[in-house]
Amino acid sequence: MPGIDDKRAFVPLKIAVLTISDTRKFEDDKSGSTLAERIEKAGHAVADRAIVTDDVEKIRAQMRVWIADPAVDVIISTGGTGFTGRDVTPEAAEALFEKRMDGFSTVFHMVSHAKIGSSTVQSRATAGVANSTFIFCLPGSPGACRDAWDEILVHQLDYRYRPCNFVELMPRLDEGMRRAKAQGATA
């Protein structure tokens, strides 16, 4: 049965939140705030938070800063995953991925389908790994952020979650580089 193994210690992660929007400011960024609140409630730290416009190079530039920062374990973006002309988050992020996480999109769509039915096909939620940093790109609605966090990420970003989780993989993501990620996790 999946669940929390109380014999394992919780490992707090440092998670950066990126909102992609042409119109949002921190004062009205409900999706970014939803993620930040859930991150902190789970015991993790919000390493940084930013808002950039729907522009491939601006999205990549911010993600590159965090990917290069050894103090950032995870990046979660919200917005820009739809099909309109300005929705370019997957194009921006996937070019940075060393490894793509196809299973995240599949599970996200399963969770989303249970809540919004076939409308889930309008999302291009994606995830991957770059320089030992997990990157999750979520739709821009607070509901989608809640669903992704509450149903997937809160578990996979918890070292105690069994049978497996992303945190226990972190020390091995950079086997060639030995970057200090997820201090306290052991493979």
Q: What percent of the chain has a predicted confidence (pLDDT) above 90?
A: 90
**Residue 181 belongs to some domain of the structure:** no
* Higher-confidence position of 14 and 1: 14
Among 113-117, 129-133, 154-158, 179-183, where is mean pLDDT lowest? 179-183
**Residue 90 belongs to some domain of the structure:** yes
**Residue 3 belongs to some domain of the structure:** no
**Residue 183 belongs to some domain of the structure:** no
Overall number of domains in the chain? 1
**Residue 65 belongs to some domain of the structure:** yes
Alpha carbon distance 46, 110 (integer Å): 27
Q: Judge residue 32's burial from the number of C-beta atoms within 10 Å of its C-beta, 0-12 exposed, 13-18 middle, 19 or more buried.
A: buried
* CATH number reported for the structural domain that contains residue 135 in this entry: 3.40.980.10
**Residue 32 belongs to some domain of the structure:** yes
**Residue 155 belongs to some domain of the structure:** yes
Q: What is the pLDDT of residue 187?
A: 46
- Domain of 167 in residue numbering reads as 10-171
- pLDDT tens digits along 88-133: 999 999 999 999 999 999 999 999 999 999 999 999 999 999 999 9
Q: Which neighbouring-strand residues pair with 14?
A: 45
- pLDDT class for 186, splitting at 50, 70, 90? low
**Residue 179 belongs to some domain of the structure:** no
Answer yes or no: are the C-beta atoms of 182 and 13 closer than 8 Å.
yes
Alpha carbon distance 79, 59 (integer Å): 11
